[in-house]
Homo-oligomer: A and B are copies of this chain.
Amino acid sequence: MTILNHQVTLKSRPVGFPQASDFDLIEVPLSKPGDGEILIEAHYLSVDPYMRGRMNDAASYADPVRLGEVMVGESVGRVIESRNPKFPLGTFVSGMFGWQEYAISDGKGIRRIDPAAAPISTALHVLGMPGMTAYFGLLDVCGVKKGETVFVSGAAGAVGSIVGQLAVIHECRAVGSAGSDDKLIYMTDELGYDAAFNYKAVDDLGEEIRGLCPEGIDVYFDNVGGPITDAVFPMLNVGARVAICGQISQYNLKERDLGPRLFWHLIVKRATVRGFLVFDFASRYREALTHLTEWYQSGRLKMRERITDGIENAPHAFIEMLHGANTGKQLVRLQAADE
C-alpha cells in the first residue's frame, strides 16, 4: 500500500497578514528512501514568526519559499525506514523537514533526540532553536550580568518565555510585555517574571515601562520592535545592550511603518544594538543544549505548549501564532504522534 504524504505548500505571497488561502494542502505518494537516506514520520511541526519572512519574495538571510514549494519549517519525528546506519529505525530526530507528514533525509543537518530526556516536542522549543536563541541572545549577545534589569518584548512567546526564565536564573530583574492577560499571569505566576504588562491595555507605554523599571533597563531582548522598542529606548541605562531577535510587529504590515529615530539614545547611553541569528552560534549548540536540558530537568525552565492538530491546520496555527494566540510554544501535532 502506498502511503500518501500530506504537504502544505505556498500558494500565493501574502500582503499583510497571511490568509489560509495563501496555502495549499496537497497529497503526494510517498517515495522510498535511497541509499544512505532515512524516512521520517513527523510528530510535531513548529510554526515560527521567521516563516512569515520566507513567504516574501525578498532577499534575506535565507532564500524565500517558492510558489508551489513545501513551506519551510522544523519538525520532530521518528525514523520509520532507514538506509543510513547512523539513524537506526525508531530513532527520534529533528530537522528542517518542512510542513509535511513525512520526509526523506540523507541525515545531514538533523539532530538525534533522546525521548527519555524530555518530551520530544521540546526539541522544537525549550530544548531546540527557540531555547538556544534565548540562550545565545541573552548570555552572549547581551552578556547579561547578575543584578541587571532585563526587559523582554514578546515575553510569553516561544523565545521570550525562555529569555525571562534565563534572566531569573541569572539573578536579574525580569520585566516583559505581552499581548493578553492570560500571558501576564503565566509570566508572573509560572515563569518568574518580576513584572509584566499587557501592551494592548496600556495607554502610555513609556510611563508603564518607567514604572516597572525604576532603575532603567540594562538589557533589552527584542522580539517585537515597533512602539514597544520606541518606549524602551529612552529607558536604557548607560552601557545597555539590546539584542534584536525578531521584529514581529513589522512582519505583517502592508505599508512600511515609520517610527521615531532612536540612535541619539545610543550615544547618550553608549548602548549597543546587535541583530543576531541562532545559526551564527552553531558551533556551540551542544553547550547551550547541555545547560538548557539541566535547567529543564531540574524544573528551573518551565514551558507551555499550544497544540493544534493535523497538518491541514498548520496554516491556521501559523496565522494564529502571528496574531499572538499562543502562550508559550505553538506546535502542530501530526497524525503520527497519536499512533
Task: Tell me which of A164-172, A244-252, A303-311 binds B.
Answer: A244-252
Q: Is A268 an interface residue (CB 8 A)?
A: yes
Residues of B within 8 A of A261 (CB): 225-226, 247, 250, 256-259
Task: Tell me which of A8-16, A40-48, A118-126, A270-278 binds B.
Answer: A270-278
When the two chains form the complex, which single residue of B266, B267, B269, B280 contacts A270, counting CB atoms closer than 8 Å?
A: B280
List residues of A (202-257) whose CB comes within 8 Å of B's CBs: 222, 225-226, 229, 244-247, 250, 256-257
Interchain CA distance A108-B259 in the complex, whole Å: 43
Q: Is A260 an interface residue (CB 8 A)?
A: yes
When the two chains form the complex, which single residue of B60, B247, B258, B264 contacts A263, counting CB atoms closer than 8 Å?
A: B247
List residues of A (85-115) whose CB comes within 8 Å of B's CBs: none
When the two chains form the complex, which single residue of B245, B259, B264 contacts A267, counting CB atoms closer than 8 Å?
A: B245
* A to B CB contacts below 8 Å, 11 in the list: A244-B263, A245-B267, A247-B263, A250-B264, A259-B259, A259-B260, A263-B273, A266-B275, A271-B274, A272-B274, A272-B275
Q: Is A66 an interface residue (CB 8 A)?
A: no
The answer to whether B263 touches A275, judged by C-beta atoms less than 8 angstroms apart, is: yes
Copies of this chain, count:
2
Chain B's nearest CB lies how many Å from the CB of A122?
Answer: 25
The answer to whether B273 touches A272, judged by C-beta atoms less than 8 angstroms apart, is: yes
| Nearest 8 Cβ contacts at the A-B interface | A266-B275, A267-B275, A258-B258, A272-B274, A273-B273, A244-B263, A244-B266, A247-B264
Q: Is A265 an interface residue (CB 8 A)?
A: yes
The answer to whether A229 touches B263, judged by C-beta atoms less than 8 angstroms apart, is: yes
Residues of B within 8 A of A269 (CB): 275
Interchain CA distance A63-B121 in the complex, whole Å: 54
Residues of B within 8 A of A229 (CB): 263
* Contact pattern, A 157-192, Cβ under 8 Å of B = 1, otherwise 0: 000000000000000000000000000000000000
A246 to B, closest residue via Cβ = B267
Interchain CA distance A245-B267 in the complex, whole Å: 7
The answer to whether B267 touches A276, judged by C-beta atoms less than 8 angstroms apart, is: yes
The answer to whether A274 touches B266, judged by C-beta atoms less than 8 angstroms apart, is: yes
Residues of B within 8 A of A60 (CB): 268
The answer to whether B256 touches A266, judged by C-beta atoms less than 8 angstroms apart, is: no
The answer to whether B61 touches A263, judged by C-beta atoms less than 8 angstroms apart, is: no
List residues of A (35-67) whose CB comes within 8 Å of B's CBs: 60-61
